[in-house]
């Protein structure tokens, strides 16, 4: 199973961020990537700099027949099409697409690290991923997602909320 994390924190309102996520999902589908499941959308403070605008985040499960390196090229192209410009590390962005898990493969290339190296400590990844697959286990450690969520600091478990709308898939 392949899981992608999507997030947006650029826009003057949550509605604009919501529109960014939906546009990204359409571009993923347009790229002939089959979306199998989509989590609810979650609202989280920006991480690590909480003075930046809050994020809307979701996780999708996809079907992709080629290698992870081919997928990341498509995802980076989608980010550029949407206007993502890398400025400062972890700065505000119109869209961020991360490969969280690619069929349990462990890839440690200079430009691609799978599983995502910090996913085990990020509420905005773990909560939507757990919604999609409560039995998911981290490919490197084998730790179940419910344990990873339980290990988050209480403050991180409490600061994440569900958004009032669901993503729009065709």
Q: What is the pLDDT of residues 85-120, one digit of tens each?
A: 877 777 789 999 999 999 999 999 998 999 999 999
- Note whether 107 and 114 are within 8 A (CB): yes
Listed in order, strand segments (DSSP E) in the chain are 2-8, 34-38, 42-44, 55-63, 96-102, 107-109, 112-114, 161-162
SS3 for 98-125 is EEEEECCCCEEECCEEECCCCHHHCHHH
For residue range 28-65, list pLDDT tens digits in order.
999 989 999 999 999 999 988 888 999 999 999 999 99
Which of 40-44, 74-78, 88-92, 122-126 comes out lowest in average pLDDT?
88-92
- Note whether 21 and 8 are within 8 A (CB): yes
Count Cα atoms within 13 angstroms, Cβ side, for 59. Answer: 22
Residue written as token pair 């985040």:
57
Quickly name the fold that domain 2-162 has.
Answer: Alpha-Beta Plaits (3.30.70)
Give the contacts of 16 (CB within 8 A, at least 6 positions apart).
Answer: 10
For residue range 134-159, list pLDDT tens digits in order.
999 999 999 999 999 999 999 999 99
What are φ and ψ of residue 76, in 5° steps?
-65, -35
Is the per-residue pLDDT at 9 higher than 90?
yes
Task: List the Cα angle 91/92/96 in 5-degree steps.
Answer: 95
- Note whether 29 and 66 are within 8 A (CB): no
Strand partners for 37: 61
**Residue extents of the structural domains in the chain:** 2-162
DSSP 8-state secondary structure symbol assigned to residue 3:
E
């Amino acid at each position: 199973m392949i899981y992608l994390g999507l997030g947006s924190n650029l826009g003057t309102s949550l509605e604009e961020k919501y529109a960014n996520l939906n546009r990204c999902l359409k571009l993923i589908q347009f790229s002939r990537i089959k979306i199998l499941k989509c989590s609810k959308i979650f609202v989280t403070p920006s991480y690590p700099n909480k003075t930046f605008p809050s994020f809307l985040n979701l996780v999708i499960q996809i079907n992709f027949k080629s290698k992870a390196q081919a997928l990341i090229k498509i995802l980076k192209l989608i980010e550029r099409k949407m206007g993502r410009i890398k400025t400062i590390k972890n700065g505000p962005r119109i869209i961020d697409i991360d490969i969280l898990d690619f069929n349990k493969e462990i890839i440690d290339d200079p430009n691609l690290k799978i599983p995502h190296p910090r996913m085990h400590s990020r509420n905005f990844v773990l909560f939507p991923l757990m919604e999609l697959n409560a039995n998911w286990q981290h490919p490197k450690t084998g730790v179940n997602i419910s344990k990873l969520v339980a290990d988050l600091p209480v403050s991180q478990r409490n600061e994440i909320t569900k958004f009032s709308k669901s993503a729009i898939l065709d």
